[in-house]
A and B are shown apart, each in its own frame.
Chain A
Amino acid sequence: MKLRIKFTKFGPIRFIGHLDVMRFFQKAIRRSEIDVKYTSGFSPHQVMSFAQPLSVGVESNGEYMDIEVNSITNCKDIMDRINAVSVEGIKVTDVTILPDNAKNAMSSVAAALYTVIFKDGYMPSFDLSDGLSKMLEKDELLIEKTGKAGKREVDIKPGLFDIKVTDKGYSMLLDCSSSGNVKPSQVISKLYEVNDEKEPENIFFHVTREETYKNNGTEEEPLYQPMNVF
Chain B
Amino acid sequence: MSERLALSEDILMKIDKPARYIGHEYNSVIKDRSKVDVRFAMCFPDVYEIGMSHLGIQILYGLLNSFEGVWCERVYSPWVDLDSIMRKESIPLFALESQDPIKDFDFLGITLQYEMCYTNILQVLDLSQIPLKSIDRTEEDPIVIGGGPCTYNPEPIADFFDIFYIGEGETQYENLINLYRNYKKENKSRREFLIKAAKSIPGLYVPSLYDVKYNKDGTISSFTPNVEGVPEKVKKEIVKDFSNAYYPMAPVVPYIKVTQDRVVLEIQRGCIRGCRFCQAGQVYKPIREKSLDELKKYAITMLKNTGHEELSLSSLSSSDYSKLPELVDFLIEECDKRHINISLPSLRIDAFSLDVMSKVQDVKKSSLTFAPEAGSQRMRNVINKGLTEEVILNGAELAFEGGWTRVKLYFMLGQPYETLEDIEGIADLANKIAARFFETVPKEKRVNGKVQIVVSTSFFVPKPFTAFQWAPQCSKEQFLDKAYQTREAISKVLNQKSIKYNWHEADASVMEGVLARGDRKLCDVILKVYKKGCFYDAWSEYYKNDVWIDTIKECGLTPEFYAERERDTDEILPWDFIDCGVSKAYLKREWERASKEQISENCAVKCQGCGAAEFKCGICPGH
Q: Which residues of A contact B (CB under 8 A)?
A: 11-13, 15-17, 20-21, 23-24, 26-31, 33, 38, 42-45, 56-57, 85-89, 202-203, 206
Contact = CB atoms under 8 A, between A and B. Distances in A.
B22 to A, nearest CB: 5
B255 A16 contact: yes
A12 B308 contact: no
A17 B309 contact: no
A121 B53 CA distance: 42
B401 to A, nearest CB: 20
Contacts of A45: 309
Contact of B305 (A15, A31, A38, A87): A31
Interface string B1-42: 101110001101100001100111110000000000000000
Contacts of A33: 304
Interface class of chain B by DSSP = loop
Given A38-B339, A86-B26, 13 more contacts: A11-B3, A12-B3, A17-B256, A20-B19, A27-B306, A28-B26, A30-B303, A30-B307, A31-B306, A44-B339, A45-B309, A57-B9, A206-B1
Interface string B89-104: 0000000000000000
B306 A56 contact: no
A42 B361 contact: yes
Nearest to A32: B307
Contacts of B253: 27
B25 A87 contact: yes
Given A13-B24, A15-B12, A57-B13, A26 B339 contact: no
Contact of A12 (B4, B309, B338, B361): B4
18 contacts: A11-B3, A12-B23, A13-B255, A16-B256, A20-B19, A20-B255, A26-B307, A27-B308, A28-B26, A33-B304, A38-B339, A42-B341, A87-B25, A88-B24, A202-B10, A203-B9, A203-B13, A206-B1
B185 interface: no
Interface of B: 1, 3-5, 9-10, 12-13, 18-19, 22-26, 253, 255-257, 303-309, 338-339, 341, 360-362, 365
Contacts of B4: 12
A43 B22 contact: no
* Residue among B303, B305, B307 having the largest count of chain A Cβ atoms under 10 Å: B307
Contacts of B339: 38, 44
B309 A56 contact: no
B458 to A, nearest CB: 29
A26 B26 CA distance: 13
Contacts of A203: 9-10, 13
Top 9 closest A-B pairs, CB basis?
A27-B307, A30-B307, A31-B307, A15-B18, A44-B339, A38-B339, A20-B255, A42-B362, A12-B22
Contacts of A43: 309, 341
B261 to A, nearest CB: 9
A206 B22 CA distance: 18
A229 B234 CA distance: 69
A59 to B, nearest CB: 10
Contacts of B257: 20, 23
A32 B32 CA distance: 27
A20 B256 CA distance: 6
A45 B308 CA distance: 11
Contacts of B10: 202-203
Nearest to A31: B307
B26 A27 contact: yes
A21 B13 CA distance: 17
A13 B26 contact: no
Nearest to B15: A15
Nearest to A206: B1
